Amino acid sequence: MIFTPSAMMLKLLYTRGSLRNTPEGVAFSIKNRLDTVRITRIEYVELDDVRIGTEQIALDLGNGDVRPASVFNAERAGFTLPVGQSATFHLAAKPLPEGLHTIRVRFAAEPFGELTVEVEDAIAARPESRTRIPRSETDDYSEAAIRARQQFAEEFTGEQFEHLKHYSFDAHTLQGNCEHFTGVAQIPVGLAGPLHVNGEHAQGQFLIPLATTEGTLVASYNRGIQLLNLCGGVKCTVIGDAMQRAPVFVFDDARGARDFGRWVEEAIDQIRPEAESTSRIAKLQYIDTYLAGKFAYLRFNYSTGDAAGQNMVGRATFAACSWILEHYPGAPIRHFYLESNFATDKKASQVNVMRTRGKRVVAEAVIKRDILQQRMRVKPEQLAYHGQVSNVGAFLSGANNNGAHSANGITALFIATGQDVANVSESSAGVLYSEITPEGDLYISITIPSLIVATHGGGTGLATQNEYLRLLGCTGRGTVNKLAEIVAGVVLAGELSLGAAISSSDWVSSHEQYGRNR
């Protein structure tokens, strides 16, 4: 199914700030943010209501592929413009003065038909000399381009660099993951475990790769893992799955926003196929509506397969909102923004704790009294009471986690396995709970309400990162929940180890003995 981009959506195709004068005339860029399309014809471009004919237009598709519009139209072959790719329009026109200008582009694209992009952009004064990081227009991941940046860094800083230059993979594999590639930051990886996980997706023993420079971190997690293993392992369960994009629609008044929210609820069955038309993977589960003043915030919730899915759901929501903008019959929508800051991407938030972002996963275990006392030198009552006291501290501070340090294990695993490390912002949230069982043992669990992990896409396919995912058995289709369960089990091991160290007053002495590098 193909969605129809609205006029408001089409404005978003234009790359703001791309309007510029060139030796040949004027240029600007359009970036495909809709869906893979085939451009079949260029009709015209207008600058400040002055029409530029096709004989004065050339399209630069990158990598030296420049096509005059008149030849392009005559050949009728068209060209495919994938999502994320830009096309630069070069116009044989008089240079534009500094200030605002109107731009109108008319072209045909399959499967959308005739499209018109109409925007304003400015010609701004550009400083004559700017320090620029070297890059290659033809192959920015070539050895020559990389060496040029390394040399530039040394000349700019007056320092000589040795280690950052050495890596063992083809730099071309980084395209889409890292721009201006110059070298690597080698981070030590220690192994903990193996951890015995009793999950629905992760079952058995797993070696845990922890990428860190913090002394005692690997040792601490290893200690917690040993404790869990002696008590039968850790039980892990994924209980929720949702990735969000949260657009906002602006009306003249609160009544307009309220009525719009009611209409969205009724139109969900029409909105869903529009969103899902952009991906075989993304599935729209539901839309939450939140109203404030004249603003209607929609939180689109998707399942995204083995990918973390932030880009995937952005594209799907873009399509859904385009349909909404075209078909909403009520009060006029004055403004629309694809992201309102309500998805809280890369930010901790209460809405994520309550409603889930990524995977909601629970790790739990019963720790035998005798093993806890023998291995950790604390009684179950000590840890349970310590937890109650810590709850008050977490409440007073407004922390997003009442546990000790879940971000430590999550970050170390994220770096090793190619996750988007900034997602630790959401993923570090946790709800730790413990109680004494009738047998006098310690039941302990941690709920991670917004764990964002992936086994496909992003950095998971890069050289060393993919090897560590293979170490965990988390490559291939249908492995993302397995990874989520393993991460949760590691987090619980860390909570047990650090909690016991603080309760038994071993925390400082352990760092002094094993974590010093001064």
Architecture field, domain 247-337:
2-Layer Sandwich (3.30)
pLDDT, position 128: 63
Instruction: Name which of 262, 296, 299, 297 is nearest 284 in CA terms.
Output: 299
* Total Cβ atoms within 10 A of residue 93: 18
Catalytic member of 339, 467, 506, 511: 511
The tens digit of pLDDT for each residue in 331-366 reads: 999 999 999 999 999 999 999 999 999 999 999 999
- Write the DSSP symbol of residue 171: G
**In this model, does residue 163 exceed pLDDT 90?**
yes
Told to judge if 214 belongs to the known catalytic residues of this protein, a careful annotator would answer: yes
- Give the residue-averaged pLDDT of 183-200: 95
Q: State the pLDDT confidence band at 152, using cuts at 50, 70 and 90.
A: very high
Q: What is the pLDDT, as a whole number, of residue 507?
A: 47
Residue 429: name the closest of 386, 387, 399 by CA. 399
Residue 9's pLDDT is what? 62
On the question of pLDDT at 30 being above 60, the answer is: yes
What class, spelled out in words, does domain 189-241+358-515 have in CATH? alpha beta
Domain covering 7-123 in this structure, CATH number: 2.60.40
Say yes or no to pLDDT of 517 above 90: no
Distance of CA 13 to CAs 8, 91, 118, Å?
A: 10, 18, 10
CA pair distance 210, 189, nearest whole angstrom: 5
Note the pLDDT of residue 5.
Answer: 61
Fold matches, 7-123 and 189-241+358-515? no
Whole-number pLDDT of residue 508:
42
DSSP E strand stretches across 452-500? none
In the chain, what are the domain boundaries?
Answer: 7-123, 131-182, 189-241+358-515, 247-337
Question: Catalytic: which of 43, 46, 118, 214?
Answer: 214
Band (pLDDT 50/70/90 cuts) for residue 202 is: very high
3-state secondary structure of 54: helix
Tell me the per-residue pLDDT of 502-515, one tens digit each, with 9 for 90 and over. Answer: 887 654 445 455 55
On the question of a cis peptide bond just before residue 194, with omega within 30 degrees of 0, the verdict is: yes
- pLDDT on residue 114: 79
Our answer to whether residue 140 is catalytic in this structure is no
**Is residue 49 annotated as a catalytic residue, yes or no?**
no
Is the pLDDT reported for residue 425 higher than 60? yes
279 has a pLDDT exceeding 50: yes
Low-confidence winner among 99-108, 162-171, 185-194, 472-481 (lowest mean pLDDT):
99-108
Amino acid at position 455, single letter: T
Tokens 């019963």 found at: 366
Residues 35, 420, 426, 441: which is the catalytic one?
420
